[in-house]
Structure 1
Amino acid sequence: MRRYWERFKFHSLFIKIFLVMLFSIIAVAIASSWTTVRMSEKLFMNTFSITNSKVISQIKASFEAFHYSIVTATNNTQLSGTIRSFLSEEDSDSLRMLRTYYNMTTQMKKIQSTLDAYQVGIKIMGKNGRSYSTNTNNLLMSDRELQQHELTRNTLAEPKRLMYQFYEETMPDSAQKEAVIVGSKALMDRTTGDIYGTLYFTIHEKDFRSFYGSFVSTGNDVVILNKQGMIVSSNRSDLMGQRAEDLLQVARQIEEQQLAYQNTDFQGTDSILIADYLPSYDFYIVNLIDKQTALGQMVNGKMVVLFCSAIVAVALIVVFLIFRRLTRSLTLLTRQMSKITERNFHNYITVTGSFEFQELGHAYNYMLDELNEYVEKLVETQKEQRNAELAALQHQINPHFLYNTLASVNFLVQQGSQEKAVQTIHALISMLQNALSNVSESITVTQELENLKSYVFINHVRYGERIRVNFFVSPDCMDCHLPKLIIQPFIENAFFHAFTRKSGGYIHILISQDAGSLLCEVVDNGDGMDTGAADLPMSSLAGKRQLFTGIGIRNVHDRLVLMYGEEYGVTIKSAPGEGTAIRIRLPLMKK
């Protein structure tokens, strides 16, 4: 990411001009394409709706022709005295009964012949309990079940009307249900108005679907709705038997307002809806058109995108080449000059081009010569000054520390604790040897621990053991090297500044390896301080007085950064009343 950012800076002028042209060309292409497609869509929708309205009219004509055949068969049945006698008279002698049945069968076959063009079954039931049905497409329920069924109750509730109802029957050879459209009419005596039977016409939905099956296609579906909003027929089997009140509402709106079509959302699909009313059936025929599928057939989206992309690509290539050539000379010079900020003072440029660019190149190279000479002198001076400061600080042993330590030894001798006094003197000698040796030397973690334990021992002799000190060192760190006097200043700071409000506590020294680095931590549960952030800057503790040497914690951080780089150094985390945690990160070094 950083590399791309650098390249952007060098070509910023070129990129800005190019982006302006890029967005302008793309915006014009998108606007033109969008306008063209919208106009085409609108024209297509108007044309498509007119075409499908004519298709709906043809489908409606097919339904009306079927209904006319049903009406004819119904009238012939009602006018037949033989059928009325079969359904209304009580049982008499066998011969007469046989003759009546024969005549009725002959009449029913004639009526059935008027419906040979359709796969329709006919069934009649009389008030005397007699019934007759053709051998095809009949209801599977018994006469008793049919007599008590909702189909019959609805028919008898409106005896003068030929009604069409939706029914799902369970197939005997499987648990699946098959949809059936049932046309029914009560048989009435025209003279008395008495109902002597019921007539049923049964057509399976798959045969009913044939009236419009040739007009459907992918994304162009037909749905037949009854007045309750139930889907009684559709080329989509997944919709059968579902209630679609929203479709019924839109269909009624189209019928009442005489609309050509209506846009609607059906089951999450943006659709165009064309509808017409079938008064003979009390059904609505609805044509659902998937707008995306229909428009996809008209507009080849891929071709439009490819064509526009090709135009934009050609235009962008031409613009790119022209502006790249115009800004190349300026980009090269900017790239060379910007590398000075990366401490690369030897990046001289080759002097070429016109007189103006040659003069500018000579001036740039001369500036690099002067800058290199100045930086080399400055770096050398800083190194010498830093070494001198560290050497001076190292030899500034605080006299108060020596005085108090020797006074403690004198007190121990007077008290008769000669062995402890000897241990204190040995610890002091060890510390002085470590402090007065070459500061640039590194020591092992084992040696550093000995020095730290000597320092802690002296402090316990002087001030008691109200502050406990614990060392936790990973075994794989014992041979690692680290600079001298790195950890001691932080232990010293914790002893004399961390427990001003508390009577006692602990200091933990932890040394371990972490992600390829040596991590040294000094943690106390003292007073703590408000850092205001996760890490306290080193400058916040720069003024703390060190009681053993002048090498303070600020100097430790600066020394590590100078020796190893910015990724190493000291961070501090603290909170009032909770204590302070010092983290010293060093490179992992073993000799």
Structure 2
Amino acid sequence: MASQQIQSNTITSINDTIAQTKDLINDKLTIFVVELIALENNSQWLSIMRGSDNPERDLDPQDYIFIDKSLEAYFDRYSMLDSVLFYYNQGRISWYKRDSRNSNAHITLENYAEKLDSSRLSIIKWLNIHDEKELNAPKVVSAYKMFGKDRYNTKGMLLFNIKSKFFSDILNNAKISTNGYLTIVSNDGMMRFKNVEKRYEIKEELLQNELMQTEESAGQLIMTSNQDENMLVFYDTLPINKWKIAAVLPEREVLERVNSIKYVMMIVMLLVIIAAVFLSNVIANIITKPLINLTRKVNRIEEGNLDIPFKTSVSNEIGVLSRGIQDMMHRIRDLLKEVENEQEKKRAAELAVLQSQIKPHFLYNTLYSIRQLYEMGDTKEAGEMVTALSQFFRISINKGSEIITIAQEIEHIKNYLYIQHLRYREDFIYEIDIDPDISECHIVKLTLQPLVENAIYHGIKQHRGQGLIAIRGYADGRDIIMMVEDNGVGMSEEDLASMNQSLKSSDPGNDMIGFGTHNVNKRLQLNYGLSYGLTYHANTGGGVTVTVKIRS
């Protein structure tokens, strides 16, 4: 049973590696699909293409400047890009950019049209790793979209060539086994960057046919290498283009790994048993007698005698217990003298507990994003994210005063939004408008971050199109009003009324109120009074505004 469990865990680990790699590659490739689709929705691109359809009209200089800047922008945004081509109307517009150099490309559109999987030109075509001979771009993966009536009447195309190094870095970074590797397979080829022993080689055509003919999107195959070694193939499917990503490894290495883990576990268990028996005998002799004496003294304490002396000079566990009990008795005596301050201390303790419960749980995803940026070579952006993260936690984990200035709170939320914006890119934008007159006023620490987090995850992420988060603040008489607005999916009037009623009554049991929202509202009411805290409103154009009301 133990061996089966270890083998199951090994297989699960491999599948997790495939899933994580698949998600990373799919997210990166989706960017180029978005760019290809976006071109047809860009009015200036459409105007340039329509202008080239007129044989009596030449393109204006500003048109060439626009094309050059637009193509150059792709390289600024995507480091994995090898080259890009915009070709239209039999070469009247031919702009090929590679290694920061522009040139005119002479290509045959029919060669690209023949490779399309559908007569509809709205479908994005992907080409597995190959040499783009017409453009002198070796070892690239291509994605292109053609323009025209259909595949037999094409007028042009936009083509992206992606560096093979982007894929090799990702696939080689995954640790499968000594002779195991990750590969990406499609109908037009496969890419693999790791060399293995010859006895574990599988014919590429055979592996390609097996994976592309299977009807399952994910699963496991057992194949035979060229030298009759059993090979395990675990695979999944990239949603963006239906390519298969597979982990191929010798069955022999999986069994060897299971056996080695099993032997290590047996040795460790044996050592633990021996150590436990030895230590139990030693501890029994050392502790038994002092424990009896300690028990007698505890019984006297139970009778109400708080002046019993203890020998606290002993450095073993009994000494630690004795010092702890003696400290406890001193503390009890002190607490009896401080009964008049009980209510204030209870309030302060409750505030401290609520404050400590706020933990930025997005830390793991941020660190994972930083790791991926370093692995992709985006060290500048990774460094900026590390700086923002350190500044974010400088306030979050500060054990000093729980009351900070609004300026510090805004600095904290700017770091949080910067990190989230780096992760989600164009999914949302944000703006902050705080009256300078309230910057030095005070607010309970970590008030805005949970509210902005809710706006992102429960509003913006569920909303199609680019989201907007706005943070505003101003003085209202003797009070200060701060608002967190979003244009997300919003909430019904019934849900908003239920939330506001629960916040007003401080009811933590309402499922509509998340832990963070209840936490913030409770801390504000403990500090400022029950007439202060949070209120939710629906926006006219969609989304939700949460209002924070505090004393100035």
Alignment TM class, shorter chain as reference: 0.3 to 0.5
Q: Please report the TM-score for the alignment, with normalisation by the length of structure 2.
A: 0.39
